[in-house]
Amino acid sequence: MLMLDCVKLYGLNHHDYHPKQLIYDQLHKLVEKVGTKAEKARYDILLTDAMIRLVNDFTMAN
């Protein structure tokens, strides 16, 4: 999550990594088992998508 917050430092567009959906308050809620399975799955999918995009962006930059 911290790397996703700092993508501008690498010259990447912050809006490409789901910043409105991947927020720390939501993560803490889900970690504390307050959210539903559907909310957890959605968050997991968005986070996975953002991390794959980040890895691909780093790979394409070289």
pTM of the model: 0.88
Contacts of 41 (CB under 8 A, 6+ apart): none
Q: What is the pLDDT along the chain (62 residues), one digit of tens a residue?
A: 999 999 999 899 999 999 999 999 999 999 998 889 999 999 999 999 999 999 999 998 66
The pLDDT value recorded for residue 62 is: 62
Domain that holds residue 57: 2-61
Contact 46, 21 (CB under 8 A): yes
Domain count, the chain: 1
The pLDDT value recorded for residue 60 is: 85
- Write the DSSP string, 5-58: HTGGGGT--GGGG-TTT--HHHHHHHHTT-S-HHHHHHHHHHHHHHHHHHHHHH
